[in-house]
A and B are shown apart, each in its own frame.
Chain A
Amino acid sequence: MTTTNAPARAGQAIGRMLLQGGTVVALLLLIIFFFAMRPDIFLTFVNVKNILYQVSILAIIAGAQTVVMVVGDFDLSVGATSSLAGAVAGAQMIGGAPIWQAISVALLVGLIVGLVNGVLIAYLNLTAFVATLATMTSVVGFAFLVTEGTTLFNFPAEFNELGQGKFLNIPIPVYFALVISVIIWAVLKFTTIGRSWHAIGGNVEVSRLSGVNVRRARLLAFTVAGLVSAIGGILLAARLGSASAVQGSDNMMFSVAAVFLGMTVIKSGMANLGGTMIGVGIIGVMSNGLNILGVNAYIQQVVTGIIIILAVTLSGLKTRER
């Protein structure tokens, strides 16, 4: 009995590993594919730097989304909150406020949006979908009010430096993304609040009955997401040297996609920061690689969707087989 089963088991194990690693394998395959297509360009310092620069702000916002999704919710307002924060910072500076003040106020705005989301969801028991959809709508409205529908620009050079400056020939937002990701990772991994988030995301009732303060933890998760989104938005404004009410609105969908891709990376199927970064990597490499190959933008969009479906389906097979 056991002898006939053994090879089959081994085969299953390899298959499962491949499935589990599906998303990582997908990223590696993408890199290998683009490298094979354009070996002279794809992995050059300049291009890798380009990719990192292009995904740095998405990485920050996806980090915010990860926190909320670890708790088992999601936040549709991250993109809008980031735009609003960028707009608020810009409007402050144009109004003559010093940079530190502009940034502080913008961060505060992000914090408040997150807090409102948290109160609505954790204390007033709205579903995350309804609450964040509603705040997203209002926040976009606020952003239009702040920008008066125009694009704000002419920020102080020191501010723009945050988004456009370089250290060791690598753009500063890349460092920001790195530091924020490490912080979020550490908070999720090592702090009691991070572990509470994991517990709640696994099973709210068990957590509550085990004495986890579920409401406070969810409130905190949304607040953190708002704050981190604001950081992303401020950096985007600095990176572009301008702020409009809708810039970076694509970050919401991409952040959710990145977290979903990341959830496929680990066994428990939970949102996790390492996985999210792999998801961000896939999205960034796809876009850059297809641009380099000169693929039509519409086709790019189709292909991006298909890759996401493939990766998530692969890991879905993993959970289904039991």
Chain B
Amino acid sequence: MSATNASTEVPMALEARDIFKHFDGVHALSGVKLSVKTGEIHALLGENGAGKSTLVKVITGIYTPDSGEILRNGESVEFANVRVANRAGIVALYQELSIIPSISVAENIMLGEQTPSKGGIVQWAELRKRAQEQLDRLNQKIPLNRLAGELSPVQQTMVAFARALATDARVLILDEPTASLTDTEIKDLFAVLRKLRDQGVAIIYVSHRLEEVFELCDRLTIMRNGETIITKDVQESNIEEVISNMVGRAAGQLYPERGTATTEVALTVEGLNGRRVKNVSFTAHKGEVLGIGGLAGSGRSELLRILAGAQKHSTGTVTVGEEALPSSPSVGKALDAGIALVPEERRSQGVILSASIQDNIALANIPSVSSLGIVSGVKISTITKRGMLDLQIKARGPHQNVGELSGGNQQKVVLAKMLARKPKVLLMDEPTRGIDVGTKAEIYRLIRELAAGGTTVIAVSSELPELIGMSDRIIIMHEGQISGEVEAAVADDELLLTYCYGKAN
């Protein structure tokens, strides 16, 4: 019977009071407060490292708090592990850990304790029936017997939702659920989330995409440095306020001033054809930031991979400055010619998580740190230190494992690794995916600095505001072809979307 919510008789679906949690003497959470109403979508925002995921783990029973109290419907609860939390109706879905690819949709939905059984024998008919019920609640038509791994990303997310519903989740925690979804899929997802909210489910929505938060959520709570800064109705807030609360200072400008690109041609692409890419020609100038947009599957990532020598093209030429790339390129040859790629899948393609910052940087620079096949520790240490300093990588030191760094700092390691090769053309695929706002601004600033130093940066992004904000010039692709080109200074979302859907200018 708390008096804090005098306005409503209904207790909060979930409340966290004065949660403290520390690891190795470092406070991850200090006095965190969170209250989520029944039937609301509550955004949980904060930079990486602000303590969001620690809080989620405390709520779901993975971590035990040092002190503080969790209340479910007004009653104090303690969760010894995930299973106990699940039984209390609290379920978290993680972006990378949503489904088991090798088993059927029905089994994915009715996983673990939800599997109906008699005497250890699975009741398959009952299992299918109940799985179907959950899919029906979500208006999803997904064949129950399909392997979950064969589904599209959005269907996989839906299957994970269905599983959460099957456990009768009353508090649903979503971590970056839209990361791998297209715009239309996000629309479908939001419809489902609103429906769940209307059914009385409390949803905690963790995301870096602020536009989504303002479109979807009812209230928001912002965390910074392990503390909750503010809880507010979304309608009473705005993006600028959110950003300034997240970074702890006035938001300033997310994107730096544009530079003045030279007219000197750094990269010429002529008549390029690949699997998806069709007859693509363009030039990029020294010191220019060229943004490439387009829907997923439009060939934009393939174009980058071809330029980086990671994928073959059937016809066409790529010229760096005066020097034409060989017709059978490789990553090594592209690097030698001065083209470097920062890939989209940072964790699987960009860095070795289990290796140190130093080793990651050394790996891409073996020729420059070794002579006669012997690697020089001094040289490695020099380039690592310079990279860490230039990019302001926050780490204990060059020997810390990259897996322990935040997403933003991991991305900086990838950058440092590539920049140590002093590329003439730097290709970046989704340069700020999964990175918090503060680090995003740093990355944009870095891109701009590189350009000012004479590097040509070609960046693919699926976020239109980012594309406009960071680029000098934007090329949009549609079904493998360039469907439009525009100066960033005069571009807007609407125009770019028109190009994205292939509608002629």
Contact = CB atoms under 8 A, between A and B. Distances in A.
A213 B111 CA distance: 11
A203 B97 contact: yes
Contact of B101 (A190, A192, A202): A202
Interface string A241-274: 0000000000000000000000000011110000
Interface residues of B, number: 28
Interface in A191-221: 191-196, 198-199, 201-203, 205-213
Contact of B115 (A195, A205, A270): A195
A268 B112 contact: no
Contacts of A195: 103, 107, 115, 122
A212 B167 CA distance: 13
A267 B149 CA distance: 10
A270 B149 CA distance: 12
B99 interface: yes
B364 interface: no
A194 B121 CA distance: 9
B103 A206 contact: no
Contacts of A210: 86, 111-112, 163
Interface string B23-65: 0000000000000000000000000000000000000000000
Assign chain A's interface to a size class.
20 to 34
A210 to B, nearest CB: 4
B92 interface: yes
B9 interface: no
Given A199-B111, A211-B82, A211-B83, A269 B120 contact: no
B102 A212 contact: no
Contact of A206 (B98, B114, B122): B98
A120 B397 CA distance: 34
Interface in B60-110: 82-83, 86, 92, 94, 97-103, 107
Contact of B112 (A191, A205, A211, A270): A211
A199 B100 contact: yes
Contact of B113 (A191, A211, A269): A211
B486 interface: no
A208 B82 contact: yes
B117 A192 contact: yes
A192 B118 CA distance: 9
A208 B121 CA distance: 21
A198 B103 contact: yes
A193 B167 CA distance: 19
Contact of A268 (B82, B102, B113): B102
Contact of B103 (A191, A199, A211): A199
Nearest to A189: B122
B395 interface: no
A211 B112 CA distance: 5
A194 B94 CA distance: 25
Contacts of B142: none
A122 to B, nearest CB: 16
B100 A190 contact: no
Given A211-B86, A211-B112, A198 B122 contact: no
A196 B102 contact: no
9 contacts: A190-B121, A191-B120, A194-B122, A195-B122, A196-B112, A198-B107, A201-B102, A202-B101, A209-B82
Interface of B: 82-83, 86, 92, 94, 97-103, 107, 111-115, 117, 120-122, 124, 147, 149-150, 163, 167
| Top 10 closest pairs, chain A to chain B, by CB | A202-B100, A211-B112, A202-B102, A268-B102, A211-B83, A210-B111, A212-B112, A210-B112, A192-B117, A203-B100
